[in-house]
């Protein structure tokens, strides 16, 4: 199966960009969009580093239709990433999205290719992620499971899904207080966490796009496919990063291989996995659950699994 089109988002980190680009070269996509944000005016090193990154793509040594979208001005994380994905979806209709610090295993490309094809017309599935933060817990009966959490350090999606994205979150005021959000986050502590994060993004207090994407996915009642092995390593932790400045052992997972895909029998969120994700991935350090709260989350997951089994 051919590698799907790739949207490669880069900025000013030549070392990481070269490493990720070597994996893209090995996958040999026939279509590639390289989108680069412009240098910041208040950073004297950016112009040189951005220029060095862009030179990496001067010599594409395989048969590939390459589109270069290099910005002369710095748009910032939120606009640069979201506008580039929109441009890529207009070009390709569906694509793999990689940032310059997301280093995938080669099996990530075939995993995305198969799932993009299988779930192309299934509106329940909104995206495909290469990330797994389940600490070795295998979820469900397939090589991947479905989740309400669309991790995006190496992922893929379709134009039909990206149309739900709204950077300005115009849907948020009504959705925030709705029963639909309460159903997505039945535990009050989890719901409060995402209301706080959503409110901050709605007020443009955070220069990001991924929280808006997550909440847009929820508003669209979408599910993400997540592998039962982590397929993408984030190599961007450090002082040059925008958001991942400090190291985090929970998130710095090595990329593993996943072959011979088996599909889960049910297209439904794995609530046990989603609860684990909130407790161990998102809530640190904002929310530290009590023992009773942890038990409540586990009971909720078991109840939901029982109801799913009866359907």
Which SS3 state, helix, strand or coil, does residue 99 take?
A: strand
With 0-12 / 13-18 / 19 or more C-beta atoms within 10 angstroms meaning exposed / middle / buried, residue 19 is middle
- Side-chain-side CA neighbours of 139 within 13 Å: the count stands at 28
Own/partner pairs for 191-199, CB < 8 Å, 24+ apart?
192/287, 193/278, 193/282, 193/283, 193/286, 193/287, 196/286, 198/169, 198/172, 199/172
State how far the Cα of 76 lies from the Cα of 74, in Å rounded to an integer.
6
Residues of the chain with pLDDT under 50: 241, 243-244, 246, 285-291
pLDDT at 189: 92
H or E stretch covering 158? strand 155-158
State how far the Cα of 131 lies from the Cα of 297, in Å rounded to an integer.
22
State how far the Cα of 201 lies from the Cα of 211, in Å rounded to an integer.
7
pLDDT at 289: 45
User: For the chain, how big is the Rg over CA atoms in Å?
Assistant: 19
Which SS3 state, helix, strand or coil, does residue 30 take?
A: coil
279-308: burial string, b at 16+ Cβ within 10 Å, e else: bebbeeeebebeeebeebbeebbeebeeee
pLDDT at 221: 98
Nearest to 124 by CA among 224, 228, 227, 274: 224
Contacts of 228 (CB under 8 A, 6+ apart): 132, 134, 138, 139, 140, 142, 143, 144, 145, 258
State how far the Cα of 255 lies from the Cα of 247, in Å rounded to an integer.
17
Q: What is the CATH number of domain 6-310?
A: 3.90.550.10
- Side-chain-side CA neighbours of 243 within 13 Å: the count stands at 14
State how far the Cα of 188 lies from the Cα of 194, in Å rounded to an integer.
10
End-to-end CA distance of the chain: 34
- Side-chain-side CA neighbours of 238 within 13 Å: the count stands at 8
pLDDT at 32: 98
pLDDT at 309: 55
Place of tokens 């495909």: 128
């Amino acid at each position: 199966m051919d590698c799907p089109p790739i949207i490669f988002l880069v900025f000013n980190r030549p070392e990481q960009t070269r490493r990720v680009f070597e994996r893209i070269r090995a996958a040999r996509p026939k279509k590639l969009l390289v989108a680069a944000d412009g240098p910041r005016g208040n950073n004297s090193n950016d112009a040189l580093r951005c220029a060095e990154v862009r030179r990496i793509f001067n010599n594409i040594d395989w048969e590939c239709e390459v589109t270069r979208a290099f910005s002369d001005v710095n748009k910032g994380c939120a606009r640069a990433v979201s506008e580039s994905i929109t441009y890529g979806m207009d070009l390709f209709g569906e694509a793999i999205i990689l940032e310059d610090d997301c280093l995938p295993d080669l099996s990530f490309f075939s995993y995305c290719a198969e799932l993009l094809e299988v779930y192309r017309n299934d509106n329940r599935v909104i995206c495909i992620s290469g990330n797994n933060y389940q600490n070795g817990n295998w979820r469900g009966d397939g090589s991947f499971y479905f989740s309400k959490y669309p991790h995006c350090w190496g992922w893929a999606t379709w134009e039909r899904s990206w149309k739900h994205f709204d950077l300005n979150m115009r849907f948020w005021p009504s959705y925030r207080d709705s029963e639909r959000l309460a159903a997505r986050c039945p535990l009050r502590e989890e719901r409060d966490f995402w209301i706080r994060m959503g409110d901050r993004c709605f007020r443009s207090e955070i220069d990001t796009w991924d929280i808006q994407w997550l909440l847009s996915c929820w508003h669209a009642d979408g599910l993400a496919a997540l592998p039962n092995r982590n397929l993408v390593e984030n190599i961007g932790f450090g002082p040059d990063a925008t958001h991942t400045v400090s190291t985090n052992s929970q998130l710095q997972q090595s990329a593993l291989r996943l072959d011979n895909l088996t599909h889960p029998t049910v297209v439904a969120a794995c609530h046990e996995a989603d609860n684990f994700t909130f407790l161990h991935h998102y809530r640190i350090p904002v929310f530290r659950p009590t023992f009773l709260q942890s038990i409540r989350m586990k009971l909720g997951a078991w109840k939901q699994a029982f109801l799913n089994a009866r359907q």
